[in-house]
Each structure stands twice: as structure tokens, then as C-alpha cells.
Amino acid sequence: MKRTIALFACAFALSACGNQSSSDNTQSGGDNSQSGAKTSQTENDKGNGNSSGQFANEKEKRSYALGMDIGNSLKDLPMDVDLDELTQGVRDVVSGGKTKLSQKQLHTVMQGVVSDMEAAQKKQQQQKSVANLKAGQKFLAENKTKPGVKTLKDGLQYKVIKKGDGPQPDANDSVTVDYTGKLIDGTVFDSSKKRGKPVTFPVNAVIPGWTEALQLMHAGGEYKLFIPPDLAYGERGAGSQIGPNETLIFDVKLISVDKNKGTGKDSDQSDSSPDNSSGDSGD
């Protein structure tokens, strides 16, 4: 049983790796999206029944819960599973009866299962990566022709919504911003505005696209950023909502600049801000 549960845990981990968007640092364009790390309460509450009266005792309820948990993992496995054989395997081991496979055979089969899942996951990620890259390229090609949109040499696009008249940050400064991050299909993956609290971070501690764009802005300014994947999270994606090679859109309001309060972290590290490689003044 432990080996069976371990398989599902492994499969779940592989699935999570494939959906990496990031749940540690995507605040303000960090490595992982806060909103991407959260599942809506509505989704979590989906189900056909909610009455504890369906179970005769706590043992039945917990056993069923374990089955549901395993089932949730099975749903997302990149392989076909025979539920009758899976159930029989569980029964044989738990009851102490004779199993169809020896421990050595079990080990060999499980190695093959994990190997197949890893290969399927890799193929799925590659397919997503290619599809996202093409969609992003098409979006940016069309977007650059729209009124007010400026395109820099490295592919970063931005539109000035409000210029601002405060100080302009450089790579060694810290900034406080309000922002909303979206995919090109409009899906919101992170928003300090929704959380009701601006965020403060070093200019050079975020994704290159953010580091660059922030240095074009003035405090009080508001920009709309269109960031290609090589200036965002690239092929690895971030968290559960930012897939590989996703082009990202950010609505950014630069609230304030704290001069010389940055970390000195190199801007090539993937967090979430703009980059000033083009030397554009942002005017």
C-alpha cells in the first residue's frame, strides 16, 4: 500500500513540475505566482455529496477519503490504469494474501511506470512550450502595431497609460508597485490589487522584463507591459498557471522609489520586473 501511495505521490509531483509557474516568488513577477499557488474555494468544494451520514463510522469515511485522494492523482496520470487490477493489488497486499508479482518484479515494473510518466510529462511540456511560444509570437506581432505600443530591441513591449512625474528607479533601487499579471488569453495569475496591498522589492530581483521596464518608469506612472517568454519565465514557466514559454501581460503602477535600497542581485535572475537593455527613456 505504501508503494502504491508513493507512486501516486510521485505522479502528483511530476504533474506539479510540469505546471511550474512558481508559488514562492511570483509576487511582482517573482519566480512563482501567488495566485497560481491557490485553488479557488469553488473548485475545491466540487462534489456530488457532502453528508457524513453516508458512512457508518469514521473508518469508512477515512477509507473513502483515501480512495478519493488516490483517484484525484490517478485522473492526472499520463497513463492508462486498470482500476480492477489496481484494486486487486491493494486487496492482496493489505490482506496479506498472495500477490501476482514478487517484490523484485514490482520494483522493475514501477521503474518502468515512473520512466514512462517522466517521458510523457516531458513530451507534454514540449508540446505546451511550442504552442505557447507560437501563440505569444503571434500576439506580440499584432500587438506592436496597436496605437501607443512601443517595442524595444529585446522584444519587450509597453504602453504608457500615465507617465508619472516622480523619480525614475535604477537597478540598485527598491520600488513599491501595484500590479496585475495576466496571460495573453486574459487569465489573471497574480494581482497585488486583488490582495489589497502593494508590494516592495529590489528592481534587480525580478524577471528581466520587469527590471527593464521599471527603469523606464517614473513614480506615479502606470504602464502596460507585454513581456516575451525569454524576458519572463522562459521554458520552465512558473507555478501552476504560467506554462512554459508564456508571454505575459502586466498592468503596473509605480507608487514609489527608494533609492539605493536594492539587493545588488543580477537582473538575469528570473523574478518579475522589466529590463533596460535598450536604453529607451520610456518617454
Q: Which residues pair with 86 in a beta bridge?
A: none
Across the range 262-283, mean pLDDT stands at 41
CA 139 to chain centre: 20
pLDDT tens profile 19-73: 443 444 444 455 444 333 333 444 455 556 555 568 999 999 999 999 899 888 8
* Alpha-helix residue ranges (DSSP H) falling in the chain: 2-18, 41-44, 58-75, 83-95, 103-143, 192-195, 208-214
Long-range contacts of 139-144 (CB under 8 A, 24+ apart): 139/184, 139/226, 139/247, 140/226, 140/228, 140/247, 143/226
pLDDT of 48 reads 60
DSSP codes, 133-182: HHHHHHHHHHHTTSTTEEE-TTS-EEEEEE---S----TT-EEEEEEEEE
Number of residues that make up the chain: 283
pLDDT at 198 over 70: yes
Please state, for a pLDDT cut of 90, what percent of the chain lies above it: 59
pLDDT at 107 over 60: yes
Q: Tell me the pLDDT of the chain averaged across its residues.
A: 81
From the list 217, 209, 205, 207, the residue with the least C-alpha distance to 172 is: 205
pLDDT at 283 over 60: no
At the second CATH level, the architecture of 1-39+55-283 is Roll (3.10)
Would you state the cell numbers that stand for residue 112, as one nine-digit string? 518502468
pLDDT at 194 over 60: yes
pLDDT of 32 reads 43
**From CA 257, how far away is CA 131, in angstroms rounded?**
38
pLDDT of 29 reads 54
The set of residues, in sequence order, having a beta carbon less than 8 Å from that of 178 and lying 6+ positions away, is: 192, 193, 198, 199, 252, 253, 255
pLDDT bin (cut points 50, 70, 90) of residue 80 is confident
**From CA 268, how far away is CA 4, in angstroms rounded?**
41
pLDDT tens profile 130-187: 999 999 999 999 999 999 999 999 999 999 999 999 999 999 999 999 999 999 999 9
| In the chain, domain spans | 1-39+55-283
Report field, pTM of the whole predicted structure over 0.85: no
